[in-house]
Structure 1
Amino acid sequence: MSDKRVENLNVESNTVLLTPGELKQKLPLSEAAAASVMEGRQVIKNILKGEDKRLFVVVGPCSIHDTEAAIEYGQRLKELSAKVQDTLYLVMRVYFEKPRTTVGWKGLINDPHMNDSFEIEEGLHIGRELLLNLAEAGLPLATEALDPISPQYLQDLIAWSAIGARTTESQTHREMSSGLSGAVGFKNGTDGGLTVAINALESVFHPHNFLGINEEGQCSIVKTKGNKYGHVVLRGGNGKPNYDSVNVALCEQALDKAGLNKNIMIDCSHANSNKDPALQPLVMENVTNQIIDGNKSIVGLMVESNLGWGNQKMTENPEDLQYGVSITDACIDWEATEKTLLGMHEKLKPVLATR
């Protein structure tokens, strides 16, 4: 029995949550969705192995707060995918969890109604239903693996995962990533340094044993096999970019020294664009030119993109928000996204096949 004199003194309540198995029973993985997930994971792994010469591009909203807008974005991305598929493999960014430096909206799962009601169980339902709809449409999906419990509820629908700059150094997230079924990108630290990401890649490659939950929601000891498809994501840091050819070369050297595969992904947002969405296409152009000039280590890009340009502040009434515009980091709009990706496609067509 708990002794209330010494336990949970700062815990207001504990609410029992439905289990991962119960959520999956309510929103089961369809054959079409499963096929989409398996294909997406395999293509990305083939790119990381060098067997597929295309780049994979994780592109989409900084965070999802409106599922209707997300579905519209997905429909447009699917159409664009068909136009660039021989050079670029487009993966839709579907981020439900947002890490915070202090406080703020933590994402659709944590607070789906954006009013501090924190209906987390409803958020899990909404998130899983959206992932199912997008996967059934044939879109490979990407997210940030932030909460160590939520993967049991959603990861069966995810082709690629990111570990953010704030959590790359976390042992919990390295252990969790060693058990994820798809490839995982580790961002460099918020200071721009590579050490934490390199250490993370070495860690995630190996098996781990840690505390977690199983399909039935029971506390369990999770034993993993290790994830062979970890790679680094350069996102800049301390206000300085690190996507240029010099920093990419330094990253190649660090990976080589650690005995790791020289697979590098460039995050076109965050410090690499000084959080100015107008600079993201310039980063994409620079990376394209690096590849044309002979770079062989850059295998992917991440782009923060939405239907509308920029971002907007939260309002007391979510219905007052502008449709298709981010409420977290500023994004480029669909027109800029389409124009830049089509331009990359044309420039890279004669290059990638012989890379």
Structure 2
Amino acid sequence: MGIKSNKELPQPTVLKEAFPLSQTEQTIIRTRIQEIKDVFTGKSKKFIVVIGPCSADNEDSVCEYVARLARVNEKVKDKLVLIPRVYTNKPRTNGSGYKGMLHQPDPEKAPDLYEGIIAIRKMHLRTIKESGLPAADEMLYPENRPYLDDLLVYEAVGARSVENQQHRLTASGMDIPVGMKNPTSGDYTVMLNSITAAQHGHRFIYRGYDVTTDGNPYAHAILRGAVNKYGVSVPNYHYEDLMRLLSQYTEKDYQYPAAIIDANHYNSNKQFKEQIRIVSEVLHSRNYNPDLQNLIKGVMIESYLSEGSQPISSNCVYGKSITDPCLGWEDTERLLYEIAERC
């Protein structure tokens, strides 16, 4: 076999005992999950903003970012539900490059998944402890989810994973809202099939067990743009794209039809400043059509302390992305207040 075992990893129960949640933090998480669920069921009219770095690459800068976000949250919490984007796994298009803190707790050192699993749990715990804002992460590896499943209030299944059976079935067993991104091809049918699968119960093999899931009624769409056969970006945040999703949603009996619009990735063609304009257009479309106001529950924004991106080096700028470029803090803060005014 071409596989070499490097190190046996701790069981999730062992890691949770070593780095536990306090009763106060458990209450914060339960309350936040219910608040987010209320948005998806329509009980709450608040607008969700999943926002943060493309990749959570440094505990100190991520926690500082989330602390700033918490201060803004105090001013907008009557209108917005701010969910920090603390993404600890980074999918790579061709398999090379920085794969996130799970793989490399220190981006300048060799991968160490044992230390990585510890590092990502400690970071998520610290963000909750210091800010009171539990976070979102991406389910890149379903088998790793139990290391963080008691900490998260929202999860996303990425464009490259949304057709994968294990991702779909694992999502059906989650008790938090999960966003299913459209695939890189942009095919809505693939995304909607994934939502259907996640909303229904299944029986399958998971981490060595024969398991049965109840289905997740809060599984929903994330529109993140696509690429055509020539590799050209094709956005899907425009009014006609949203109406097409609304039409396809009504063709079947989905629970709580909903969508989050990802303002970066192929919607912006990774031109990070375009996120400001894209969010503005989404808000306009939503306010123009009451049906879209019910469907579009929020936006996803990539943002960090310093704008842009940089290569990994020994003198990296603190709080600047080492993966996709992000909005800086000043633009972020202004944008959040604008969203609160217009949503």
Could you tell me the TM-score, scaled by structure 1's length? Answer: 0.91
1:17 aligned partner, one-letter code: L
What pairs with 1:136-147 in structure 2 (closer than 5 Å)?
A: 136=129, 137-147=131-141
Q: CA deviation at 1:291?
A: 2.2
The correspondence for 2:342, drawn from 326, 338, 347, is 347
Percent identity at matched positions? Answer: 36
Contact 2:224 2:267 in 1 (8 A): yes
1:45-85 deviation digits (Å, cap 9, x = unpaired): 10000000011110000111110001100110000011111
Contact 2:85/2:136, CA 8 A, preserved across alignment: yes
Q: Identify the residue that residue 270 of structure 2 maps to in structure 1.
A: 275
Q: Does the 8 Å CA contact 1:90/1:140 hold for their aligned counterparts?
A: no
Distance 1:110 1:258 in 2: 40
- What's 1:245 paired with? 239
Give the structure 2 partner of residue 223 of structure 1.
Answer: 212
Is 1:302 the counterpart of 2:300? The answer is yes
Give the Å deviation of 1:210. Answer: 2.1
* 1:116-127 → structure 2 map (5 Å cutoff): 117-127=110-120
Partner of residue 52 from structure 1, selected from 25, 29, 44: 44
- How many Å separate the matches in 2 of 1:133 and 1:88? 23
Shift of 1:14: 4.7
- SS at 1:161 equivalent: strand
Shift of 1:117: 2.2
Write the distance in 2 (CA, Å) between the matches of 1:32 and 1:131.
15
What's the secondary structure of 2:93's corresponding residue? coil
Partner Cα distance (1:14, 1:126) in 2: 18
Q: What's the CA shift for 1:115?
A: 3.8
CA distance in 1, matches of 2:109, 2:248: 43
Question: How many angstroms does 1:116 deviate by?
Answer: 5.3
Distance 1:128 1:83 in 2: 28
State how far apart, in whole Å, the 2-side matches of 1:63 and 1:151 are.
Answer: 17
Please state how far the C-alpha of 1:301 moved relative to its aligned partner.
Answer: 0.6
Match of 1:34 in 2: 26
1:254 aligns to 2:252 (yes or no): no
Aligned residue pairs, count: 332
Partner residue, 2:230: none
Which whole-Å deviations, capped at 9, do the CAs of 1:248-277 have from their partners, x for residues lacking one? 000001111122233111000011111001
Structure 2 CA distance for aligned equivalents of residues 185 and 64 of structure 1: 19
Structure 2 Cα separation of the partners of residues 268 and 322 of structure 1: 24
Deviation, 1:208, is 1.6
Q: Do the aligned residues in 2 keep the contact of 1:32 with 1:135 (CA within 8 Å)?
A: no
Task: State whether structure 2 residue 75 is matched by structure 1 residue 75.
Answer: no
Q: Which runs of 5+ in 2 are unaligned?
A: 228-232
Q: 2:114 aligned with 1:114, yes or no?
A: no
CA distance in 2, matches of 1:106, 1:78: 27
Aligned to 1:159: 153
1:16 aligns with 2:32: no
Answer with 1 or 2: which has the greater Rg: 1
RMSD: 1.2
Contact 2:51/2:300, CA 8 A, preserved across alignment: yes
Amino acid at match of 1:309: E
Residue among 277, 280, 284 paired with 1:285: 280
1:263 to 258, 264, 270: 258
1:112 maps to amino acid: P
Deviation at 1:32, TM superposition (A): 2.1
Secondary structure of 1:233's counterpart equals strand
> Amino acid of the residue matched to residue 10 of structure 2?
L
Equivalent-residue separation in structure 2 for 1:115 and 1:175 (angstroms): 35
Render the CA deviation track for 1:138-165: whole Å, top value 9, x for unaligned.
1031010111121111111000000000
Give the TM-score of the pair, scaled to structure 2.
0.94
* Alpha-carbon distance, 1:12 to partner: 2.2
CA contact (8 A) 1:208 1:223 kept: yes
SS, match of residue 260 in structure 2:
strand
Aligned amino acid, residue 194 of structure 1: Y
Hey, what's the Cα distance between the residues in 2 that align with 1:178 and 1:254?
A: 21
Between the aligned partners of 1:75 and 1:164, the Cα distance in structure 2 is: 26
For 1:11 and 1:246, locate their aligned partners in 2 and report how far apart those are by CA, in whole Å.
48
The 8 Å contact of residues 124 and 134 in structure 2, kept in 1 or not, is answered as: no
CA distance in 1 between partners of 2:41 and 2:195 (Å): 15
SS at match of 1:280: helix
Q: Which residue identity lines up with residue 164 of structure 1 in the other structure?
A: G
In the TM superposition, what is the alpha-carbon distance from 1:13 to its structure 2 partner? 2.4
The one-letter code sitting in structure 2 at the alignment partner of 1:132 is: L
The runs of 5 or more residues in structure 1 that have no matched partner are 1-8, 214-218, 349-355
1:235 aligns with 2:224: yes
Query: Aligned equivalents of 1:345 and 1:119: distance in 2?
Result: 41
Is the 8 Å Cα contact of residues 305 and 337 (structure 1) preserved in structure 2?
Answer: yes
Does the CA contact (< 8 Å) of 1:108 and 1:127 recur in 2? Answer: yes
Query: How far apart, CA to CA, are the structure 2 residues paired with 1:343 and 1:98?
Result: 29
SS in 1 for 2:179: strand
CA offsets 1:72-102 (integer angstroms, 9 cap, x no match) = 0011000001111111110000000011111
- 1:130 correspondence with 2:115: no
